[in-house]
Amino acid sequence: MKMEYELREELRQMCILSESIEEKGLERGILLTQKVMRLSAGGMSDEDIAKVCLIIREMVHEILEA
């Protein structure tokens, strides 16, 4: 019984951790998208945006086309 409880508790903690990681990833993606949009609206080239944001130019295009 104790082992079953411990296993259940470990699984619960793993799920909580997984949700936290997912939320942080979503937050980072939103912030990156906002930054790309802001820089583009300010007239910065896609290539320069990619350099500033440390992403590839194709990702800049994907964000701007969405």
State mean pLDDT over 1-9.
83
**Residue 61: which pLDDT band, with cuts at 50, 70 and 90?**
very high
pTM: 0.78
How would you classify residue 45: left for phi > 0, otherwise alpha for psi between -120 and 50, otherwise beta?
A: beta
pLDDT in tens, 28-55: 999 999 999 999 999 999 999 999 999 9
Provide the b/e sequence for 35-60 (b: ≥16 CB within 10 Å).
ebeebbeeebebeebbeebebeeeeb
* Structure tokens belonging to residue 44: 């910065």
